[in-house]
Amino acid sequence: MGLDPDLQRFPAEFAAARDPLATRAERAQDVERFLVGVLDAVHDLVPAVKPQSAYFEALGSDGVRCWERVIRAAHERNLLVIGDVKRGDIGSTAAAYAQAYLTGMEGCDPATLCDAITINPYLGTDSIEPFLAACRQADAGLYVLVRTSNLGSAEFQAQGDPTLSDRVAEAVVRWGSELVGECGYSSVGAVVGATHPRELAHLRERMPKVPFLIPGYGAQGGQAGDLAPAFGEHFAGGIVNSSRGILYPQNPNNLPWKDACRAAAKAMVAEFQALQPGRVG
């Protein structure tokens, strides 16, 4: 479940979130209350949450504190946390990002760190190496942007022969070759959008031991039935993200907002159960 706190879409009881006169601290408080409420509603239905850092950063230092409290709350509910931070920079700066999100420094509460993060490979291998070192140190994971779900992704990612996405996929396999775990998948994963179903099988073939993070399901148009090629044997090796579809679901029966979120999450689970009967998701 993606945690994208769009303040204008919060339930009515979170008035400060939409109030232009509210302070950032007041808005951050509403963000925390809403997201923790959603966690309470669905934590037994999903394995992981993916907070999007931009929404928290928009609230300044109050948002950063909120980010840490929400991550702690997710860990307290036994959820993995994938920080959607999409960082990528020169080596020394990448090392600082890796420390900020994965390894921490002395005095850091480990419950506020992420289990994995998304990263941008545009600067090349030297920008990835500090994150790989952090993976080893913290037993953490990475999801590298390979083929994203946004409308403009083909402008660069689908160009060339082989395509840029294929070149990045090859690098992802190389970067993660020494980080393959007991289940046969690497700690270095790939972000592959649900909006490109024809490419999923191709990229799975190129990256057989790479876990996929699959955004674009639901609100962006991705359908459960199109995503089976993204998974490996025993329907493993992938995690599908839904943000708006669970946080702000259609609610024709006017259920209380937590019940509506839970109903949306259960509906998503049921769609994926139907792809392989007998499995939870």
Summary mean pLDDT of the chain? 93
Q: What's the confidence (pLDDT) of residue 229? A: 82
Distance in angstroms (rounded) separating the CA atoms of residues 111 and 200:
34
Pick the catalytic residue: 86, 209, 258, 266?
86
Is 86 marked active-site? Answer: yes
CATH annotation of 2-273:
3.20.20.70
The pLDDT, as a whole number, for residue 256 is: 96
Ranges of residues in the chain with a pLDDT under 50 are 278-281
pLDDT of residue 228: 82
- Give the Å distances, CA to CA, from 164 to 87, 129, 145, 146: 19, 20, 11, 8
pLDDT digits (tens, 9 = 90+) for 67-101: 999 999 999 999 999 999 999 999 999 999 999 99
Instruction: Locate the domains of the chain by residue range.
Output: 2-273
Q: Specify the pTM.
A: 0.94
User: What pLDDT is recorded for position 230?
Assistant: 84
